[in-house]
A = this chain, B = another copy of it.
């Protein structure tokens, strides 16, 4: 059973891209940025974050590179040009989407029940 269920509903990718817009970050920092930036609302497990970053990297939207800091390995990601484009597109799509859903949820009354 799923206590909490899919909090981000398909909008995780945009958010990940957005956290990288200001500059490169490693995975854990992305997770923290999302948590802090949302006031704790989006505190995602690493099992969500890392696979998603791999997915974005596989799609060429971000690029990762290994480094070692204090004997701790880190994988730092940066936005690629394609990622930047995707972010812009997704941001605009989000606005359209949110507007459409909000409008539908506020439609009152709905067109006549035939």
Contacts and interface: CB of A to CB of B under 8 A. Distances in A.
A63 B23 CA distance: 51
Interface in A81-103: 91, 94-98, 100-103
Copies of this protein in the assembly total: 2
Contacts of A94: 101-102, 105
Interface of A: 6, 9-11, 14-15, 18-19, 21-25, 29, 33-34, 36-39, 41-42, 91, 94-98, 100-105, 107-111, 113-114
13 contacts: A10-B10, A11-B101, A14-B105, A21-B108, A22-B108, A22-B113, A25-B114, A33-B111, A38-B104, A91-B105, A94-B105, A98-B101, A98-B102
